[in-house]
Chain A
Amino acid sequence: MTNSQSLSRHDSLDRGGKAQPLLRVRGLQKHFTIARGGLGRQASRVHAVDGVDFEVYKGETLGIVGESGCGKSTTARLLMHLLAADHGEMIFDGDPIGQRGGISVREMRRQVQMVFQNSYASLNPRMSVEDSIAFGPQVHGVNRRESRQRARRLLDQVGLSPSLFAHRYPHELSGGQRQRVNIARALALEPRLLILDEAVSALDKSVEAQVLNLLTDLKQEYGLTYLFISHDLNVVRYISDRVMVMYLGKVAEMGEVEALYRAPAHPYTRALLSAMPSMNPNQRTEQAPLTGDPPNPIDLPPGCRFCPRCPMVEEACRAEEPALEACGTAHQVACRRADEVMAGAVPVKRLSEESPT
């Protein structure tokens, strides 16, 4: 496919124009019930995603970061409708998904594709690479011959020679090669939004850089929009335009990547950033910014959910949950004391203050 063709295809699908967000999410919520109530038993639920609002703009890369259990992967699965949301509205380029007058889930899935962390588990071991890539287009009505041609073209584009790789099976490929196949497969339906859920996390460092370069190239060539989920803050900073920091199912902070990394407004973001291992032998980390593990999202504290680990907690924080509010241009934060955090006044929490869990 030539560049002009792909652009014209996107133009024809682009309904709201550049200014309309490609994806708008409002009040997204998913709770998993782990023990039902009744008969004197306490119901307990995992608040995996607990009211999340965000937009993904056309042509940008939105990074999502947070610790395990913060709801980043659940958010991705909800967007793909791999899980049914309890509440929430998802609008894809002006069209509500799965509602009357909107676009169907099937059509949305053609335009939104996903790449997962485990490159091996996400490929069918009994299908050759070529068949795997051609499968999606065939389901969506492209004939066999054309879908195979498309598969070979994509293989070439992700840097795997079709003559060498088209007939191989997943077990015959290395991790980096398999992830390239997954990316090719995601692109086979010519999506507009690609969700990358820890897509480079399992790769060796030297291969990770290759795949990041590939993603950058493909984004330019196809005019893609990325939702890039990762726990690696270095990689997120490199690839993203905007970053969303999640904590226990909520958005803690969201903003332009450089502004957010330079002056984080949420104590949690600040802690995450200073937990990155130092690359300077003369400036090793002397004190861990947070103590304890990420709490489980079952029994949430009242008020701000970061309270138990927050070095700046005060009484008012426990009373009311802070809303996500603007704290700069295109920078939002959910913290009452964001101004102080941005000014850099954050004490380090001592180990002895740790509350036993």
Chain B
Amino acid sequence: MSLAAAKSDPTAAILAPLVEITDLTVRFRTPTRQVHAVNGVDLSLDRGEVLTILGESGSGKSVTLRTLMRLLPERRSQISGRVSVDGQDVLAMSQRQLTRFRGRTASMIFQEPMLAFDPVYRIGEQIAETVCRHEGVSRRQGMARALELFELVRIPSPQRRLANYPHELSGGMSQRAMIALALSCRPKLLLADEPTTALDATVQIQILLLLRDLQRELGMSVIFVTHDMGVANEISDRIAVMYAGRIVESGKVEEIIGNPQHPYTQGLMASRASGAQRGQRLQAIPGAPPDLAELPRGCAFVPRCPQATDECLAAVPASRALSDTHWAACCRLGM
């Protein structure tokens, strides 16, 4: 039961991508309105790759992530498109298949680790329970595995920490414990929903480095959601920038950070406060993200875009390739 077993087979790398999302749309219905949270997202993720979805609140990044685990409320959400993870069609799964899928194939960590644990049980018991449940092993083996996991996520004095209740752990420590819980069934895909946003910078960098190490050690694929460019730069191989439920630009880290092409990505880069701009006005993007219940026709960024023309209003811009790995969805590219 070593962790090395979880390493992906080297031949698997040349097989099909681990995650393939095609034309995903997600709508939420309320009695009075319909919110268009995700509007046609195409995404693929290779085995062993780290992808960051970068976007502001309401851009649909977390909804996309939750769709991959079918965590959205079934009754109120309307999902269409194709989502396949490791060859399985996630949207067609039965509850039973989902239970097997979650934790084993894909697993998720959240922003608020305290909410991921039950406050009245010891951390070790909760991890052991997950292992027993999914792998059918004894409680003792489950506890042994929990200890192994705590060592894996570099928690100091792990044996003692297993006996702690969630409230006894500090912010960084409970985030590590949640990562241990998420990795307990050796998932092929780890989904991370802003796991470092609530942490101090000094702890954030520790967690980012830990995730990077674990990803390499275990050969997992990771989809990381954040609104912070710096975090995206530290963790990812590839970045997809989302705006109003669509991916507007996607490329390797160097391409997005070093050579952003979509006006929104450019605006995000230019509006970053730093020492270099002291005394100057920041190049802020005017306005606010659109209301997802009343999306404008055409490109959703038009009201805030410095380069918008009538052409942009006509239709949602198609993505245009800028290199083999870099594309952006904007009518005015290269003009």
Contacts and interface: CB of A to CB of B under 8 A. Distances in A.
B95 interface: no
Interface string B269-292: 001111101100111111011000
Contacts of A291: 206
Interface stretch (A83-91, A123-131, A349-357): A349-357
A275 interface: yes
Contacts of A313: none
A237 B229 CA distance: 17
B100 interface: no
A162 B206 CA distance: 46
A204 B227 contact: yes
B202 to A, nearest CB: 4
B46 interface: no
Nearest to B57: A204
B95 to A, nearest CB: 36
Interface residues of A, number: 53
Contacts of B293: none
A276 B233 CA distance: 11
A206 B202 contact: no
Contacts of B277: 238
Contacts of A278: 230, 233-234
A290 B289 CA distance: 36
Range for the number of chain B residues in contact with chain A: 35 or more
Contacts of A206: 56, 267-268, 271, 284-285, 289
Interface string A338-357: 00000000000001001011
A78 to B, nearest CB: 22
30 contacts: A67-B200, A67-B201, A68-B200, A205-B272, A209-B273, A209-B282, A210-B286, A212-B273, A213-B284, A237-B274, A238-B278, A239-B273, A257-B275, A258-B275, A258-B278, A272-B201, A272-B202, A275-B204, A275-B205, A277-B230, A278-B230, A281-B233, A281-B254, A282-B254, A284-B233, A285-B234, A288-B206, A289-B205, A292-B156, A294-B202
Interface of A: 67-68, 174-177, 204-210, 212-213, 216, 231-235, 237-239, 257-258, 261, 271-272, 275-282, 284-294, 296, 351, 354, 356-357
The 6 closest A-B pairs by CB, nearest first: A277-B230, A209-B284, A209-B271, A238-B273, A293-B170, A204-B56
